[in-house]
Amino acid sequence: MSDDSDTSYCLIDATRPPKADGPPYAECVLCRKPTEYPESYKGITLCPVCEWQEAQRTACSG
């Protein structure tokens, strides 16, 4: 028994939401297509296409 198990969250890359093991998947907030994220994911979920487009947009801002 150990109370230090909370430190395991440090292994998770916070910049990437967890991918779902299977359906139901969350909908893309832009085009409503199914994403790779679990439906229970709290936050903005984008499909691979929209995610790429958003990345391009933010990269070229200015």
Residues within the interface to Zn ion (CB under 5 A) = 28, 30-31, 47, 50
Q: Tell me the DSSP string of 9-25.
A: GGGS-TTSPPPPSSSSE
Q: Which CB sits closer to Zn ion, 21 or 31?
A: 31
Q: Which CB sits closer to Zn ion, 12 or 52?
A: 52
Q: Which CB sits closer to Zn ion, 2 or 57?
A: 57
For residue 61, the minimal CB distance to Zn ion (Å) is 20
